[in-house]
Amino acid sequence: MTDTVPAGPPSAVSQTTAEDGRVELLPGAYPSASRYANDDLRPVPLADRHWGTYNFAALWIGMAHNIPSWTLASGLVALGMDWKQAVITIALANVIVLLPMLLTGHAGPKYGIPFPVLARASFGVRGANLPALIRAAVACGWFGIQTWIGGQGIFILLNEVFGGAWAKAGTIGGYPWTLWLCFVLFWALQLAIIHRGMETLRRFENWAAPFVLIGAVVLLVWIADKAGGFGPLLDQPSALGWGTDFWPVFFPALMGMIGFWSTLSLNIPDFTRFGKGQRAQVWGQSLGLPTTMTAFALLSVLVTSGSQAVYGEPIWEPVELAAKADSVFGLLFALVTVLVATISVNIAANVVSPAYDLANLAPKYINFRTGALITGIVGVIIFPWKLIATPELYIFTWLGVVGGLLGTVAGILIADYWIVRRTRLALVDLYTAGGRYWYSGGWNWRAVAAFVIGGALAVGGSHSAPGKGPFPQDGLIPFLRPLADYGWAIGLASALVVYAALMLPGRGPDLPEAA
């Protein structure tokens, strides 16, 4: 038997399969004494997998209704699209990213395991730390940035409530101390919620989703009443048309919109592991992600159109628009809506993942709550207020490149789970040194090779306009430059093919394992 499938304890004596296909460990089978196991990483028992369709739909509604996603359409309009082209692009991107989301999410309800544990099947018990830490790095960065953005939103609205007094407060580090107060309080509130665990997050998302949706609709009704209807923005023709000028803009924009949620396509098992079945996660995500993002994009276009009619210029920033409310009640309602919306997306998208990823790094010393606290601390010490000031250094360089690598990880996970193992896993071995997922010293060199090759193809062509970024004008690897605008898709497809090609020829008789 090759090191592709090392010998290990037979799954038949350690796990059982329910009638609906979901698998759980037999009593006493979980190797809790293993250095690669802790209570937060262990498979969720069937009795505790009770998230239904509404829970998953609410999760996505809560995450989609946030300040950055509100302004997605504005970025596409700025590229020359009209509002119809922008909404269509966003809709198509979210339908496309839904597919890998559902494929990687399948392991959650079936086995009750989070993303870093699923990654052990392909990268190895130790090697899984490679994709986990990359995902954690992106999440920690975005947690800090989103927290700063949320703090700024609260500061702006409270400044309006108090008649501009907050902006006149004394400064610390170049910013009013009242802004620092908003940032710290917002940071602490998020960690307090996640500290109570995933069940608290589920309950929070359940009521946050309809609340934020109502808040967005209220904003639409308010601006429509002031505008007397919509018109100027909706009447603007496309600067690109539908011909040869459109497609060179459309495909890079499509990849950018896909990249908005590509991170969640990796760690969605962190949530689906609590699902009551495949139907719940498939319908919940299908109803929650593409429909909500498309509707939210359309809503942002309509509201912005109304703002142009009322104020003479389009206001794409929802906080800036809400600050123009002419009543204290309106401002406070907008404040609470922004608060809930930002917390909803930031905790789910940027705290849950690194909490599990960091726990996977040292399970005996870091649990889910400790991982969440570390995420919060890292999100502060990276100085997000400075990173926002130099987006070309962080958002368009580090996050752009590292985010592109996540497509390669998704390709490897999908190839391993669906093509190589045909959705069959031996749970005990995912937590055991020397088991069938130990490979060579805990690492699967085939996954690493696929990651390197896919990553090189995905980001090797990264380039910058002269004076606009850190990359050479012709690209890091010039002949790969044409692939740069399609990095996520190129990385996913190439890593999937390479990994499957390396794994399948040498697979042993136990692969796929009997569940």
| 390 has pLDDT over 70 | no
Taking each continuous run of H as one helix and of E as one strand, the counts in the chain are 21, 4
pLDDT in tens, 410-459: 999 999 999 999 999 999 999 999 999 999 999 999 999 999 999 999 88
Q: Please, are residues 73 and 86 in contact by the beta-carbon 8 Å criterion?
A: yes
More confident residue, 288 or 469: 288
pLDDT in tens, 154-183: 888 888 878 778 888 888 888 889 999 999
Q: What is the pLDDT of residue 433?
A: 93
* Beta-strand runs (E) in 71-217: 171-172, 175-176
How much of the chain is helix, strand and coil, in % rounded to 5? 65, 5, 30
- Band (pLDDT 50/70/90 cuts) for residue 391 is low
Residue 164 has, within 13 A of its CA and on its CB side, a CA count of: 1
pLDDT in tens, 27-67: 889 998 999 999 999 999 999 999 999 999 988 887 887 77
pLDDT in tens, 351-369: 888 889 999 999 999 988 8
Average pLDDT over residues 285-312: 84
Determine what percent of the chain is predicted with pLDDT higher than 90.
34
| 515 has pLDDT over 70 | no
- For residue 74 the two structure tokens come to 């504005």
b/e for 277-299, b at 16 or more Cβ within 10 A?
A: bbebbbbbbbbbbbbbbbbbbbb
Residue 5 burial (CB count, 10 A): 21
Q: What is the pLDDT of residue 72?
A: 77
The most confident of 89-98, 258-267, 328-337, 474-483, by mean pLDDT: 89-98
Q: Please, are residues 453 and 490 in contact by the beta-carbon 8 Å criterion?
A: no
One-letter identity of residue 400: G
Q: What is the pLDDT of residue 399?
A: 59
**What does the mean pLDDT of the chain come to?**
83
Question: From CA 255, how far away is CA 76, in angstroms rounded?
Answer: 12
The most confident of 192-196, 299-303, 433-437, by mean pLDDT: 433-437
Q: What is the pLDDT of residue 392?
A: 57
pLDDT in tens, 123-156: 999 999 999 998 888 888 888 888 988 888 888 8
Sort strands 23-25 and 171-172 into parallel, antiparallel or unpaired.
unpaired
Q: Please, are residues 182 and 151 in contact by the beta-carbon 8 Å criterion?
A: yes
| 512 has pLDDT over 60 | no
Q: Please, are residues 238 and 70 in contact by the beta-carbon 8 Å criterion?
A: no
Residue 55 burial (CB count, 10 A): 22
Q: What is the pLDDT of residue 66?
A: 74
- Band (pLDDT 50/70/90 cuts) for residue 271 is very high
More confident residue, 240 or 293: 293
- Band (pLDDT 50/70/90 cuts) for residue 394 is low
Q: Please, are residues 215 and 333 in contact by the beta-carbon 8 Å criterion?
A: yes
